[in-house]
Amino acid sequence: MKTKHLVSISDLEKEDILEIFETAAALKSKQKSGKKYTPLEGKTLAMIFSKPSTRTRVSFETGIYQLGGLGLFLSGQELQLRRGETISDTARTLSRYINGIMIRTFSHNDVEELAKHSDVPVINGLTDLEHPCQALGDVFTILEKKCSKSDVQGLKKLKFVFIGDGNNVANSLMLLCAKLSINFTVITPAGYEPDKNIFNSAKEISPDIKLSNEVAGVAAADVMYTDVWTSMGKDEEREKRLQVFKPYQVNASLLSKAKPDCIVMHCLPAKRGEEITNDVIDGKNSVVFDQAENRLHIQKAIMLLLMS
Ligand code: CP
Ligand code: NVA
């Protein structure tokens, strides 16, 4: 892979993305067959978390272990960062001990700063602006569910809609879909559109990245994706958002407008009964747990490609 870090989907060329998908597919089948494969033996991944996590933490920690390495969980609260040590000093220090850094935090700029001063690869495990590992795992899942094996051309025939908040997940999906020429529409209430700069960059790459405020835009979708209406760090807006987003709920009536074999996706954690109803998330169209599993395989591929 050409890039040293994965801070944003924009760090990746199309070839890098395809290499990640191919590597993830190979690692997944190796793991399913029970074969041990430990190319990262002796390597350590520091995992800095300043926000909660279930999937990202467990999939990175178990992923590095399966590849023969060690995952070191570091709470943002317990590092000297909290007492004012600079990001650059933290990056330069960690680089002397470990072979990679995964970080989940609030400010995207902080992750850029960390990468700038780190001698070892930095992987973004979610910021307020992006969630690149999630988007990569998601499109890998779509590829498995909707296209014959690794036929990325097949992705171009799909209608992919994201409905809800134009958040970090939507931003990373926009960039990724643009790079792969996937027809992708983000449907949000007015005022909750994805990041303007990211949308403009995505649109420059592909005309098939669109925004809409109309729920009717889900018609004939092959893939319908939603995420929480209130992301981590926005909790004080929760009550207002519950009202504004109500018409954008993924429920049986909305799903009936999509193609009968439309897959329903959610990065999880879900707020059941808010952005998605129980019958839909537990229904036959839902692929949310396969999607969650694929975080493991895709991140193992990312670590292998960046840390070998
Ligand atoms: N989807 C995701 O990143 O989940 P966690 O917040 O549990 O890591
Ligand atoms: N958009 C959500 C994703 C959680 C994995 C958040 O940032 O809270």
Q: Does residue 138 register a pLDDT over 80?
A: yes
Burial class (CB in 10 A: 0-12, 13-18, 19+), 130: buried
Q: Does residue 149 register a pLDDT over 80?
A: no
Residue 68's CB: how many other CB atoms inside 10 A?
A: 14
Is-same-fold flag (9-131+292-307; 134-287)? Answer: yes
Annotated domain spans of the chain: 9-131+292-307, 134-287
Tell me the residue type at 248.
Answer: Y
Tell me the residue type at 117.
Answer: H
| Closest Cα to atom 7 of ligand 1 | 54
Tell me the residue type at 154.
Answer: G
Domain 9-131+292-307 = CATH 3.20.20.70: no
> Residue 230 CA: which ligand 2 atom is closest?
8
Ligand 2 surroundings by CB, under 6 angstroms: 126, 167-169, 227-228, 231-232, 267
pLDDT score for 151: 83
Residue position matching structure tokens 């973004």? 124
What percent of the chain is modeled with pLDDT above 90? 97
Q: Does residue 150 register a pLDDT over 80?
A: no
* Model confidence, pTM: 0.98
Average pLDDT over residues 162-172: 99
Q: Does residue 75 register a pLDDT over 90?
A: yes
Continuous H helices in the chain: 14-32, 55-66, 87-94, 108-117, 132-146, 152-155, 168-179, 196-205, 238-245, 252-255, 278-281, 288-307
- Whether 261 is catalytic is no
Tens of pLDDT, residues 120-135: 999 999 999 999 999 9
Q: Across the chain, what does the average pLDDT equal? A: 97
Average pLDDT over residues 45-54: 98
For domain 134-287, the CATH class is: alpha beta
pLDDT category of residue 148 using cuts at 50, 70 and 90: confident
Rg (CA), the chain: 19
DSSP, residue by residue, 151-187: -HHHHTT-EEEEES---HHHHHHHHHHHHTT-EEEEE
